[in-house]
Copies of this chain bind each other. A is one copy, B any other.
Protein backbone atom coordinates (compact mmCIF):
# COMPACT_ATOMS: atom_id res chain seq x y z
CA UNK A 1 0.00 0.00 0.00
CA UNK A 2 1.35 3.39 -1.00
CA UNK A 3 1.78 6.26 1.43
CA UNK A 4 0.73 9.72 0.25
CA UNK A 5 1.98 12.99 1.72
CA UNK A 6 0.71 16.23 0.21
CA UNK A 7 2.50 19.46 1.07
CA UNK A 8 0.78 22.72 0.20
CA UNK A 9 -0.38 25.93 1.80
CA UNK A 10 -3.44 26.18 4.03
CA UNK A 11 -5.70 27.03 1.11
CA UNK A 12 -7.74 25.12 -1.44
CA UNK A 13 -6.13 26.36 -4.69
CA UNK A 14 -4.46 23.75 -6.86
CA UNK A 15 -3.84 21.47 -3.89
CA UNK A 16 -7.55 20.88 -3.40
CA UNK A 17 -8.10 18.79 -6.58
CA UNK A 18 -5.34 16.45 -5.39
CA UNK A 19 -6.97 16.18 -1.96
CA UNK A 20 -10.33 15.51 -3.64
CA UNK A 21 -8.99 12.80 -5.96
CA UNK A 22 -7.20 11.02 -3.10
CA UNK A 23 -10.38 11.26 -1.01
CA UNK A 24 -12.52 10.01 -3.88
CA UNK A 25 -10.24 7.00 -4.26
CA UNK A 26 -10.47 6.31 -0.53
CA UNK A 27 -6.73 6.83 -0.02
CA UNK A 28 -5.46 8.05 3.32
CA UNK A 29 -3.01 10.92 2.91
CA UNK A 30 -0.99 13.21 5.11
CA UNK A 31 -2.39 16.69 4.46
CA UNK A 32 0.51 18.95 5.38
CA UNK A 33 -0.38 22.67 5.28
CA UNK A 34 2.57 24.97 5.78
CA UNK A 35 2.90 28.61 6.76
CA UNK A 36 5.01 31.28 5.10
CA UNK A 37 8.10 30.90 7.31
CA UNK A 38 8.19 27.13 6.81
CA UNK A 39 7.86 27.69 3.08
CA UNK A 40 10.98 29.83 2.92
CA UNK A 41 12.93 26.92 4.39
CA UNK A 42 11.29 24.27 2.25
CA UNK A 43 11.31 26.13 -1.09
CA UNK A 44 14.95 25.39 -2.05
CA UNK A 45 14.38 21.68 -1.38
CA UNK A 46 11.43 21.38 -3.79
CA UNK A 47 12.02 20.37 -7.44
CA UNK A 48 11.20 23.79 -8.93
CA UNK A 49 10.56 26.05 -5.93
CA UNK A 50 6.80 25.49 -5.98
CA UNK A 51 3.99 23.77 -4.16
CA UNK A 52 2.04 21.51 -4.11
CA UNK A 53 4.31 18.51 -3.95
CA UNK A 54 2.99 15.02 -3.40
CA UNK A 55 5.24 12.32 -2.00
CA UNK A 56 4.26 8.78 -2.92
CA UNK A 57 6.28 6.34 -0.87
CA UNK A 58 8.81 9.13 -0.49
CA UNK A 59 9.11 9.89 -4.23
CA UNK A 60 8.48 13.57 -4.87
CA UNK A 61 5.92 14.61 -7.50
CA UNK A 62 5.34 18.25 -8.44
CA UNK A 63 2.98 20.22 -10.72
CA UNK A 64 -0.68 19.95 -9.77
CA UNK A 65 -2.05 19.00 -13.21
CA UNK A 66 0.60 16.31 -13.74
CA UNK A 67 -0.15 14.93 -10.26
CA UNK A 68 -3.93 14.91 -10.84
CA UNK A 69 -3.50 13.24 -14.23
CA UNK A 70 -1.27 10.54 -12.73
CA UNK A 71 -3.56 9.88 -9.76
CA UNK A 72 -6.62 10.06 -11.98
CA UNK A 73 -5.25 7.41 -14.31
CA UNK A 74 -4.25 5.25 -11.34
CA UNK A 75 -7.74 5.49 -9.82
CA UNK A 76 -9.93 5.00 -12.90
CA UNK A 77 -10.50 8.71 -13.55
CA UNK A 78 -8.55 8.89 -16.83
CA UNK A 79 -9.96 8.81 -20.35
CA UNK A 80 -10.61 5.50 -22.04
CA UNK A 81 -8.78 6.45 -25.26
CA UNK A 82 -6.08 8.85 -26.46
CA UNK A 83 -8.84 11.03 -27.88
CA UNK A 84 -10.67 11.22 -24.54
CA UNK A 85 -7.42 11.99 -22.75
CA UNK A 86 -6.86 14.79 -25.25
CA UNK A 87 -10.25 16.30 -24.33
CA UNK A 88 -9.37 16.05 -20.63
CA UNK A 89 -5.97 17.65 -21.20
CA UNK A 90 -7.31 20.53 -23.28
CA UNK A 91 -9.67 21.40 -20.41
CA UNK A 92 -6.92 21.00 -17.81
CA UNK A 93 -4.61 23.37 -19.70
CA UNK A 94 -7.45 25.85 -20.07
CA UNK A 95 -8.06 25.73 -16.31
CA UNK A 96 -4.34 26.34 -15.84
CA UNK A 97 -4.67 29.45 -18.00
CA UNK A 98 -7.41 30.72 -15.69
CA UNK A 99 -5.26 29.82 -12.68
CA UNK A 100 -2.38 31.87 -14.09
CA UNK A 101 -4.63 34.86 -14.66
CA UNK A 102 -6.01 34.57 -11.12
CA UNK A 103 -2.67 34.07 -9.48
CA UNK A 104 -1.28 37.10 -11.29
CA UNK A 105 -4.22 39.17 -10.09
CA UNK A 106 -4.02 37.94 -6.53
CA UNK A 107 -0.27 38.44 -6.20
CA UNK A 108 -0.46 42.02 -7.36
CA UNK A 109 0.71 43.75 -4.21
CA UNK A 110 -0.26 47.23 -5.30
CA UNK A 111 -3.88 47.37 -4.10
CA UNK A 112 -4.79 50.20 -6.44
CA UNK A 113 -3.50 48.37 -9.52
CA UNK A 114 -5.35 45.28 -8.36
CA UNK A 115 -8.67 47.09 -8.01
CA UNK A 116 -8.17 48.64 -11.42
CA UNK A 117 -7.83 45.16 -12.89
CA UNK A 118 -10.84 43.65 -11.06
CA UNK A 119 -13.69 44.89 -13.34
CA UNK A 120 -12.03 43.49 -16.47
CA UNK A 121 -11.61 40.11 -14.76
CA UNK A 122 -15.17 40.07 -13.41
CA UNK A 123 -16.91 41.36 -16.52
CA UNK A 124 -14.81 40.02 -19.35
CA UNK A 125 -11.97 37.59 -18.76
CA UNK A 126 -13.55 35.16 -16.31
CA UNK A 127 -17.03 35.14 -17.94
CA UNK A 128 -15.32 34.43 -21.30
CA UNK A 129 -13.90 31.22 -19.85
CA UNK A 130 -16.90 30.26 -17.71
CA UNK A 131 -19.40 30.60 -20.59
CA UNK A 132 -17.36 28.19 -22.66
CA UNK A 133 -16.76 25.74 -19.82
CA UNK A 134 -20.47 25.84 -18.96
CA UNK A 135 -21.33 24.96 -22.53
CA UNK A 136 -18.84 22.07 -22.58
CA UNK A 137 -20.40 20.65 -19.38
CA UNK A 138 -23.85 21.06 -20.93
CA UNK A 139 -22.77 19.08 -23.99
CA UNK A 140 -21.10 16.30 -22.01
CA UNK A 141 -23.86 15.13 -19.72
CA UNK A 142 -22.84 17.23 -16.72
CA UNK A 143 -19.11 16.48 -16.90
CA UNK A 144 -16.26 17.94 -18.92
CA UNK A 145 -15.59 14.91 -21.07
CA UNK A 146 -17.82 12.25 -22.62
CA UNK A 147 -20.62 12.05 -20.03
CA UNK A 148 -18.45 10.68 -17.24
CA UNK A 149 -16.44 11.68 -14.22
CA UNK A 150 -12.72 12.21 -14.87
CA UNK A 151 -9.90 13.84 -12.92
CA UNK A 152 -10.38 17.15 -14.71
CA UNK A 153 -13.82 17.51 -13.08
CA UNK A 154 -12.05 17.60 -9.71
CA UNK A 155 -9.35 19.84 -11.14
CA UNK A 156 -11.95 22.47 -11.95
CA UNK A 157 -14.22 21.98 -8.92
CA UNK A 158 -11.35 22.21 -6.45
CA UNK A 159 -9.90 25.34 -8.01
CA UNK A 160 -13.12 27.19 -8.86
CA UNK A 161 -13.99 27.82 -5.22
CA UNK A 162 -10.62 29.46 -4.67
CA UNK A 163 -11.18 31.58 -7.75
CA UNK A 164 -14.46 32.87 -6.29
CA UNK A 165 -12.82 33.65 -2.96
CA UNK A 166 -9.94 35.46 -4.66
CA UNK A 167 -12.39 37.57 -6.65
CA UNK A 168 -14.69 37.93 -3.67
CA UNK A 169 -17.59 37.23 -6.03
CA UNK A 170 -19.70 34.16 -6.76
CA UNK A 171 -18.76 34.29 -10.43
CA UNK A 172 -19.93 30.73 -11.11
CA UNK A 173 -23.51 31.45 -10.04
CA UNK A 174 -24.60 32.65 -13.47
CA UNK A 175 -23.68 29.35 -15.07
CA UNK A 176 -26.25 26.63 -14.42
CA UNK A 177 -24.19 23.71 -15.70
CA UNK A 178 -21.11 24.73 -13.73
CA UNK A 179 -23.27 24.99 -10.60
CA UNK A 180 -24.87 21.63 -11.28
CA UNK A 181 -21.40 20.15 -11.88
CA UNK A 182 -20.21 21.53 -8.54
CA UNK A 183 -23.24 20.12 -6.74
CA UNK A 184 -22.90 16.73 -8.39
CA UNK A 185 -19.30 16.45 -7.27
CA UNK A 186 -20.12 17.62 -3.74
CA UNK A 187 -22.75 14.90 -3.51
CA UNK A 188 -20.34 12.06 -4.23
CA UNK A 189 -20.25 10.40 -0.77
CA UNK A 190 -16.43 10.40 -0.48
CA UNK A 191 -16.28 14.08 -1.48
CA UNK A 192 -19.13 15.02 0.83
CA UNK A 193 -17.20 13.42 3.67
CA UNK A 194 -13.94 15.14 2.68
CA UNK A 195 -15.61 18.56 2.47
CA UNK A 196 -17.25 18.19 5.86
CA UNK A 197 -13.96 17.12 7.47
CA UNK A 198 -11.48 19.40 5.71
CA UNK A 199 -10.01 22.45 7.47
CA UNK A 200 -12.03 25.60 6.83
CA UNK A 201 -9.94 28.10 4.87
CA UNK A 202 -10.49 31.58 3.54
CA UNK A 203 -9.45 30.85 -0.06
Contacts and interface: CB of A to CB of B under 8 A. Distances in A.
A-B pairs with lowest CB-CB distance, top 4: A66-B89, A63-B93, A70-B86, A66-B90
A86 B61 contact: yes
Given A96-B96, A104-B104, A63 B89 contact: yes
Given A70-B89, A100-B100, 8 more contacts: A47-B90, A48-B97, A48-B128, A61-B86, A61-B90, A62-B90, A70-B86, A73-B82
Nearest to A82: B73
A48 B89 contact: no
Contact of A85 (B62, B70, B100): B70
Contacts of A85: 69-70, 73
B70 A93 contact: no
A4 to B, nearest CB: 14
Nearest to A94: B48
A81 B49 CA distance: 26
A66 B73 CA distance: 16
Contacts of A74: 82
Interface residues of A, number: 31
A96 B85 CA distance: 19
Contacts of A106: none
A90 B63 contact: yes
A21 interface: no
A7 B61 CA distance: 34
A132 interface: yes
Contact of A132 (B48, B93, B128): B48
B48 A69 contact: no
Q: Considering residues A48, A85, A97, which has the most beta carbons from chain B within 10 angstroms of its beta carbon?
A: A48
Contacts of A67: 86
A66 B94 CA distance: 10
Interface in A84-142: 85-86, 89-90, 92-94, 96-97, 100, 104, 128-129, 132
